Structure formats: C-alpha cells, structure tokens
Amino acid sequence: MTKMQRVALEGLIGGALSSVLSALLLCAASRRQTGSPYAAINAISHWLWKDRAFRRNAPSLRYTGTGYLIHHLASTFWATGHAAVRPPDGAADARAAMAGGLTTSALACFVDYRLTPYRLQPGFEQRLSRPALAGVYLAFGVGIAVGAWLLSPPPRPIRGPRPTSSREPKG
C-alpha cells in the first residue's frame, strides 16, 4: 500500500470512528444538559443555518443531518491530517497511537476555538458545558487513535541473536 493510500484509508476509518464516538458523546451530553440528544448536533449546522441552529432541539434532516455531515467531514479532515504527518509505523503500539490521537484532538480544539472565526466554530459549545466539550474532544482523539492503531503494520521482530532457552539442547 502506498503512503497516499494508507493516509486516505486511515483518514476514512479514523475519521468515521472519531466522528461516531464524539457524536455519541455529543448526544449523551446534550440530552443531559439540554433535554434533547439532538441539540448539540443541530448546533453544528449553524455554519449554514446561522443562529437558528442553536435553538433547535428536535431532530431534522435540515439541522441534525447537516450538523452530523459537517461533523463527520471535519473528523475525516483531522484524521487524514494525523495520518499524513505520522510515521507509517508510528502507531504500532497502543500508547503511541493514543498519544498521537489525543495530540491531534488537542490541536483540533485549539484551532477550533482560538484560530477559527466564530462563524466556522463547531457550534456545540453553545449548548454544552466545558467539561462536556472536553469529553467530546477526548472521544474524538480516541477515535483517531484507534483508526491509526488498526491500520498500522505489526511491530517488526527485534533482530539479533536468538535467546537460548533452557529447554533447548546445547552443543
């Protein structure tokens, strides 16, 4: 598999995992904090429907469908970026994968709220508390990490002399 193919595949798989995991947390936190599991996803659609999206609680194709589509595309963007900059065997161990996924998530959060104009910020921050947002970004990073880890090659065996076993005959 070429690097371009690996990056594209990891972007799609990691993006889907991070999108679904973080959307599940968005819905759970939204239900707990607003009474509607759809409010936080609907808020993302403010990119298209402006401030009306912040007041929508009911599910609809217009708000919920558009909000999830935007969220999924953004997740795929970040997962693809993560795949493009990491070394091909940089996620072979679960700890390295998790560190990379969480670092990407932290960078996404910084970009979303410090560098992005208000009009293009995620929007769910209008409906959820900061601790809930932290949980959403944590789930997002875990999804990226799992996607990277699933697609990394198995670790290479260590080269060198084979250790001897006490069971093997010597001689």
User: Rounded to whole angstroms, how far apart are CA atoms 66 and 62?
Assistant: 6
Task: Please state, rounded to an integer, the average pLDDT across all residues of the chain.
Answer: 92
Residues of the chain with confidence (pLDDT) below 70: 155-158, 160-171
Domain ranges of the chain: 3-151
Closest CA to 144 of 67, 81, 92: 81
First to last CA, the chain: 44
Distances (CA, A) of 50 to 18, 64, 77, 94, 124: 25, 14, 23, 40, 13
Q: What's the pLDDT tens digit per position in 31-46?
A: 999 999 999 999 999 9
Distances (CA, A) of 91 to 48, 51, 79, 150: 36, 40, 13, 9
Residue-level pLDDT at 167: 60
Residue-level pLDDT at 162: 62
Residue-level pLDDT at 142: 98
